[in-house]
Amino acid sequence: MAIVEVRGLRKEFDDVVAVDGVDIRSEEGEFLVLLGPSGCGKTTLLRMIAGLEEPTDGEILLGGEQVNGLPPRARRVAMVFQSYALYPHMTVANNIAFPLKAQGSEPSERLDKVKWAAGLFGIEHLLNRRPRHLSGGERQRVALARALVREPSVFLLDEPLSNLDAKLRAAARDDLMEFQRRIGITTIYVTHDQVEAMGMGDRIAVMDHGKVRQLGTPEEVYHNPADTFVARFLGSPPMNLLEEEDFMFGFRPEQFLPEGVASDDNGRIPFTFYVSRIEYLGSERYLYGHIPGHEETKIIAMLPATVTLPLTENRDHQFSVAESQMRYFDRERGVSIPPQPLKT
Amino acid sequence: MTTRARQRYLSDNPRFLAWVFMSPTVIYILALVGFPFVLAIIYAFTDITTGNPAIEFVGFDTIRAVLADPVFRRALGNTFWFAVVSNLLVVILATALAELLTRDFKGKWFVRFLILLPWVAPVSLATITWLWTLDSIFSPIDWVLRQVGLISENMFWLGRPQLAMGSVIAVQVWRIAPLAAVIVMAGLTAIPNDINDAVAVDGAGPWRRLFQVTIPLLAPIIAVAVLFGVILTISDMSVVFVLTRGGPTHSTQVLSTWAFFKGIEGGALGQGAAVALFLFPVLVGITAVILRLARRREVL
């Protein structure tokens, strides 16, 4: 197990800056998620850690040792690709054995290791099959087994669940977490799916335009976003953001509650909410509308099914947000600032 | 609906369109491939010559005469070595060239152009250039070797039996390697980048990657390249014809040139047809074997 650290990491492709000065330090055995929209540089960052891409500038340290310039095979990292990248002409057993052969290990030892890795993911019965005869979930397990058979010190995953259908994905997520806990291997996981990131990560690095916008636990990035990008990127629906003259403020849709529903009406900031449309989604209701005085900004409120209060469309309602749940941002730079007095 | 209105929709009728689009190909194949092929089969069972074009069937007499001819046996052996050795070299060269051409380097387009040139140039023109390059007196290769001091007198590239065979093979390789390289290149670019990345992360070096991943994945594509190469080598006579005309003393005689010399230059149409037809089952056999190999391989 090892700590992964990058310092001032930069990567330019011709004119494009893919990664723009990133500093991240993982904990030992941590599950660290790189989260961001496509093109934010998260995959490039992962590929630089793996050694598939050479940084333009900056340092990469694995287990305290600088690995810049070393080929992937000298880094003791394992990687699982989005497409799994199984070798189509080899059986599952040979796929898993491939890193061991490359390492030059003894054939007898190799067999034991392959069985061990296959056992970890419950694919012993598939060893003689070829990848194209496997289902998506089985392929993913083979890819994981192949990555881990060498007992690497760092485990890198590039959107490994995105090729699975929704049902399988939940199960695969569970397996992956359970497995990572058991082995305790430092894991860096790239995804654009915030549900995966929130559910799996010990910490999340939210990235945009090659920069890390915020690095923190799921609670931190969700409840105390460092800037408006993080506030908008996380959460579905995203945080409501309104502009005042010299700052912005925001609140999560689930914190925006009608009068009389909140357990304690003290310390709450009241708003008039004009509801223009209501979506009934079974487990919750989405209320779309705006706050008078801020007509240009669409506001969404999310009420759980436990709130049975009758509400009607095209009418003003009294809503409120707990003071402690209000977030404030600088208007120009978008970064988080201390609470400001509201004029509304 | 009136007839005229119906005609307006004729171009929407798939059966009509099928006929329109297929007919040029069908007519072309029937007239220029099918008809001569049937004619050749008929000729092979007659003793027809250019001097006596009457068709009189003689059973297997013509074919027996052809097979008994020692030059035919020589040509058969030469064809075999010519095809096997040149295509073996082509596969190695083409795989190396394809690897080179998929790398990124400066002036790549120019190198690509140079490598493709032999394929684009007209066969006879290119071969005539080689004829001069390998000339017994003026050969620039000999001149260079003499200057370097490796030889004291000219090699007679096309004048000695073994050297002549070597020269013919070299020119054939030069001519068909570009096509094979382009085919293999297409195969290389079809290998997903993730596979190559996985190989790197799994700790394999360049040789292991080449022999355990790249070449096995390319095998079906290489089989296609070999198929084209073998057929081009066996059925095409231009390189041998222009360079050596089968000489010296039939040492580079192959079946295609021998069929031409026998049937057209010698006037023995029946025997020429019989020699040419001998190639047919061989080509069918090779095609079947290679296609089966290609199909058995795993496809991505």
Q: What is the pLDDT along chain B (300 residues), one digit of tens a residue?
A: 567 766 777 778 888 888 889 999 999 999 988 898 888 888 888 877 777 777 777 777 777 877 888 888 888 888 888 889 999 999 999 988 888 888 878 888 888 888 888 878 887 787 788 888 877 777 777 788 877 777 777 677 777 777 788 888 888 888 888 888 888 988 888 888 889 899 998 888 888 888 899 988 888 888 888 888 888 888 878 888 887 877 788 878 888 888 888 777 777 787 888 888 887 887 888 788 777 766 765 444
Q: Cα–Cα distance between A167 and B10 in angstroms, integer? A: 50
pLDDT of the residue at B294:
67
Q: B200–A85: do the CB atoms touch at under 8 Å?
A: no
Burial class (CB in 10 A: 0-12, 13-18, 19+), B160: middle
End-to-end CA distance of chain B: 52
Chain A residue nearest residue B192, CA to CA = A85
Residue of B nearest to A94 (CA): B212
Contacts with B298 from chain A: Cβ below 8 Å = 88-89, 130, 132
The answer to whether the beta carbons of residues A15 and A69 sit under 8 Å apart is no
Phi, psi angle pair for A310, to nearest 5°: -75, 130
Contact A89 B200 (CB under 8 A): no
Q: Where in chain A is the domain with CATH 3.40.50.300?
A: 4-223
CA gap A145, A72 in Å, rounded = 18
Give residue B300's pLDDT: 41
User: Do residues B234 and B283 lie in contact, with contact meaning Cβ atoms separated by under 8 Å?
Assistant: yes
Those residues of chain B whose CB sits closer than 8 Å to some CB in chain A are 192, 194-195, 197-198, 200-205, 208, 212-213, 216-217, 297-300
> How many CA atoms within 13 Å lie on the side-chain side of B243?
32
Q: Which CATH number fits domain A238-337: 1.10.3720.10, 3.40.50.180, 3.40.50.800, 2.40.50.140?
A: 2.40.50.140
How far, in Å, are B3, B159, B170, B226 from residue B240 at the CA level? Answer: 60, 13, 11, 20
| HSE (side-chain half, CA atoms, 13 Å) at B79 | 26
Using the Cβ of A132 and the Cβ atoms of chain B, whether some distance falls under 8 Å is answered with: yes
Q: Which residues of A touch B299 (CB under 8 A)?
A: 88
pLDDT given at position B106: 83
Contact list in B for residue A51 (CB cut-off 8 A) is 200-201
Burial class (CB within 10 angstroms; exposed 0-12, middle 13-18, buried 19+) of A219: exposed
Residue type, A210: G
Interface check for A110 against chain B (CB to CB < 8 A): the answer is: no
Nearest C-alpha of chain B: how many angstroms from A96?
Answer: 10
Q: Is A341 helix (H, G, I), strand (E, B) or coil?
A: coil
Residue A232 has a pLDDT of: 92
Residues comprising chain A, all counted: 344
Chain B partners within 8 Å of A98 (Cβ) = 202, 204, 212
Question: What are B142-174's pLDDT values in tens digits?
Answer: 788 877 777 777 677 777 777 788 888 888 888
CA dist., res. B168 & res. B45, Å (int):
33
CATH classification code of A4-223 = 3.40.50.300
* Cα distance between residue A336 and residue B68, in whole Å: 97
DSSP classification of residue B213: I
Residue A29 makes CB contacts below 8 A (sequence gap 6+) with A1, A184, A185, A186
pLDDT in tens, A325-339: 999 999 888 899 998
CB contact (8 A) between residue A51 and residue B205: no
Q: What is the largest CA-CA distance in chain B?
A: 89
Please state, as a whole number, how many other Cβ atoms lie within 10 Å of the Cβ of residue A230: 28
> What gap in Å lies between CA A218 and CA A189, rounded to an integer?
14
Helix (H) or strand (E) holding A340: none
CA distance, residue A160 to nearest chain B CA (Å): 13
Which residues make beta-bridge pairs with A32? A188, A203
> Where along chain A do the CATH 2.40.50.140 domains lie?
238-337
Those residues whose C-beta lies under 8 Å from the C-beta of residue A256, and which sit 6 or more positions away, are: A240, A271, A273, A299, A301, A302, A319, A320, A321
At A265 the pLDDT is: 66
Classified as helix, coil or strand, B234 is: helix
Q: What domains can be seen in chain B, in order of their start residue?
A: 71-296 (1.10.3720.10)
Cα separation, A162 vs A148, in Å, equals 20
A vs B: CB pairs below 8 A: 67
Q: Tell me what pLDDT residue B299 has.
A: 46
In angstroms, the CA A158 to CA A188 distance is 9
ipTM above threshold 0.90: no
Q: Is A297 left (phi over 0), alpha (psi -120 to 50) or beta?
A: beta
Residue A99 forms contact with B (CB below 8 Å)? yes
From the CA of B209, how many Å to the nearest CA of chain A? 10
Alpha-carbon distance A170 to A166, whole Å?
Answer: 7
Nearest CA in chain B to A53: B197
| Low pLDDT (below 70) residues in chain A | 1, 265, 343-344
Chain B: nearest CA to A4, how far in angstroms?
16
Contact yes or no for A130 and B197 at CB 8 A? no
Note whether B192 contacts A101, CB cutoff 8 Å.
no
d(Cα B272, Cα B258) in Å, to the nearest integer? 8
On whether the CB atoms of residues A77 and A153 are closer than 8 A, the answer is yes
A99, closest residue in chain B (CA to CA): B202
B215-235 and B70-102 helices cross at what angle (nearest 10)?
140
Q: Which of B194, B212, B216 sits opposite A85 (nearest CB)?
A: B194
Strand partners, A5: A25, A61
DSSP A26: P
Other C-beta atoms lying within 10 Å of the C-beta of residue A39: 14
Chain A positions touching B200 (Cβ under 8 A) are 51-52, 71-73
| Contact assignment for B298 to A132 by CB distance below 8 Å | yes
